[in-house]
Structure 1
Amino acid sequence: MGRTSRSEIVDHSLIQKSYIVHSDANGSPWADALAWSVIAWLLLRSGYYTWMGLLLAGGWIKLKSGTVTSESLLAVGSLGLQLTTSRGLIIRFPFSSSTFTLLRSGSNVFLPLSDIQDITLNEVIYGWGIRYVLVVIQKPKVDTDDGKLIIAYEELMPRLPQLERVWRGIRSVLFDELDQKDSDTDTDLERENKPPIGQLRNGDNAIGTS
C-alpha cells in the first residue's frame, strides 16, 4: 500500500536534535470501509457467520495494527542515538482526509556514542534504480568483526534531501561538526513512488522545522 509521509525536525541547539518521519496510509478509504462493512454484516448474522466475522475482524485488526505510523532519530550530544518506530491501526473515512490511530505501540533502540563508529549515506542498487539509505555503523566488538550496520528509517524511506539534513544534523550533535544548512526552511519536496527494498518502504516526503 502506498504511503505519504512528512518529516519534522525538533532542534534543541547542539545538545540534541530529533528527526521524525510521520506516515499515513494513502490507499483508498473505501477499501477499509468495505472490509469493515462485510465484517459487521457477518457479526450481525448468527451461527457460522458470526464466528467467521470474528475471525476476519481479528485478522484484519492484527494486520492493520502493524502499520508503521512514524520513525524517529534522536541524537543527544555525548550520549548517543535513539531510533524509535511507532505502529498502530490507522482509521480512515470516505469523504474525509482526516485519520486517527488506535492500538499504538512502539519499539526503541539506543546506541551509545561509544558504540558508534560512523554515520553514512549509502547508495543501494535495486533493479534499474539507485536508492539512498542512512546507515549507522557500530564499532566492531572483536577484531574479526566488521561492525554491525543499522539502517535508519527502514520502514519509511525518505528521499535523499531529507536524509542529508538528518545526516548533517546528527553529525553536528554527536561529532561536533558544523551544520550550516539545517536552518533551511524549504518544506516542499516532490513525491517518490518506488517499490520497497526488502522491508524498506517509501513515500511522499516533506520537511518542516520547529
Structure 2
Amino acid sequence: MQRRTPLHEHPELSIIEHSGWHEYRVDAPGRKHRLASRIPSLGGLWFDACLLLGLAYYWNAIVETLPRLAASALVTSLYLYSRSTQVLWESVMIFPVLGIQLETHRGVAGLSLLASRKFIPWSSLEDFLINEGIRGWDIRYYLVAINRTPQGALQLAVAFENILPRFPILLEVYHGVQEALQDENEHGSDT
C-alpha cells in the first residue's frame, strides 16, 4: 500500500493506492494531515477535559435537584453527540472491476465512529463530473456521480458533500475516476 499527497499546496488530499483499489481521501478542515501515521490527535480535546473538570467541580450542586441534573444530562448528551458526529474525512474509492464508493467518516479526535457509504457499480455509472453551484454569494465546484437506477431514472450522488474541497483537489480526483472509467469501458467493450 502506498500513500502520497500529490498537491503540495493542498495537503488535505491524500491518495492511497493498493493493488485492488485506490482511495482519494480529503481530510476535514482543521485536522492536521499526517502522512506517516493516522494517530488520533489529543490537541482538540482540551475543551472536553475542561468540561469534565467543570462537571466534577460542580457535581454536588448539579445532583441536588432533579431539574439541574436533567438539564446537565441533556446539555452534556447534546455536546457529546455533536462532538462524536463531526466529519473527519470523506473519500472516493475506486475498485477497478466493480465501481466507485463514496464515503463519509464521522467521529472524534481522529477516531472514526460512524461511516456512511454509497457504492455505485460501473454498469450504472453514467458519468462522473465537476459541476458548479451557488452557495450564498460564492460559486463552489463539486464532484457528482450520475448513475442510473434499476428503474431507469437518473440519480446524482455528490462526492465530498460535507467538506466541499477546492477545485485543484476536485480536478485530481476527477482525473483519477475518469481514467478508471475509461479503463473499465475499454475492458467492458473487449468482452
Same fold per superposition (TM over 0.5): yes
Q: How far has the Cα of 1:127 moved from its partner?
A: 3.2
Match of 2:171 in 1: 164
Give CA-to-partner distance per residue, 1:48-105, whole Å, 9 cap, x none: 244433222212101221111111110111210111111112xxxxxxxxxx345712
Task: Write out aligned runs for 1:5-84 (5 A).
Answer: 6-12=12-18, 16-23=21-28, 25=30, 35-45=51-61, 46-48=63-65, 49-84=68-103
Match of 1:190 in 2: none
| Percent of pairs with identical residues | 31
Task: Write out aligned runs for 1:173-192 (5 A).
Answer: 173-176=180-183
The residue type equivalent to 1:117 in the other structure is E
Q: How far has the Cα of 1:30 moved from its partner?
A: 6.8
Hey, what's the Cα distance between the residues in 2 that align with 1:129 and 1:50?
A: 44
The yes-or-no answer on 1:112 pairing with 2:121 is yes
Match of 1:127 in 2: 136
Hey, what's the Cα distance between the residues in 2 that align with 1:163 and 1:54?
A: 42
Asked if structure 1 preserves the Cα contact closer than 8 Å seen for 2:105 and 2:112, the reply is: no
- Where in structure 2 are there 5+ consecutive unaligned residues? 1-9, 32-43, 185-191
Structure with the higher helix share, 1 or 2:
2
Taking only aligned residues, the RMSD between alpha carbons, in angstroms, comes to 2.8
Asked if structure 1 preserves the Cα contact closer than 8 Å seen for 2:29 and 2:163, the reply is: no
Hey, what's the Cα distance between the residues in 2 that align with 1:137 and 1:77?
A: 18
Hey, what's the Cα distance between the residues in 1 that align with 2:112 and 2:95?
A: 29
- Where in structure 1 are there 5+ consecutive unaligned residues? 90-99, 178-210
TM-score, with structure 1 as normaliser: 0.65
Q: How far has the Cα of 1:11 moved from its partner?
A: 2.5
The 3-state SS of whatever aligns with 1:176 is helix
Task: Write out aligned runs for 1:195-210 (5 A).
Answer: none
Cα distance change of structure 1 residues 138 and 52 upon mapping to structure 2, 3 Å threshold: same
Query: Larger relative CO (CA 8 A, sep 6+): 1 or 2?
Result: 1
The 3-state SS of whatever aligns with 2:103 is strand
The residue type equivalent to 1:53 in the other structure is S
Hey, what's the Cα distance between the residues in 1 that align with 2:140 and 2:159?
A: 13
Q: How far has the Cα of 1:5 moved from its partner?
A: 7.8
Aligned residues: 160
Asked if structure 2 preserves the Cα contact closer than 8 Å seen for 1:78 and 1:174, the reply is: no
The residue type equivalent to 1:6 in the other structure is E
The 3-state SS of whatever aligns with 2:82 is helix
The residue type equivalent to 1:10 in the other structure is I
The residue type equivalent to 1:22 in the other structure is D
Asked if structure 1 preserves the Cα contact closer than 8 Å seen for 2:25 and 2:91, the reply is: yes
Q: How far has the Cα of 1:33 moved from its partner?
A: 5.6
Hey, what's the Cα distance between the residues in 1 that align with 2:174 and 2:116?
A: 22
Asked if structure 1 preserves the Cα contact closer than 8 Å seen for 2:125 and 2:145, the reply is: yes
The 3-state SS of whatever aligns with 2:123 is helix
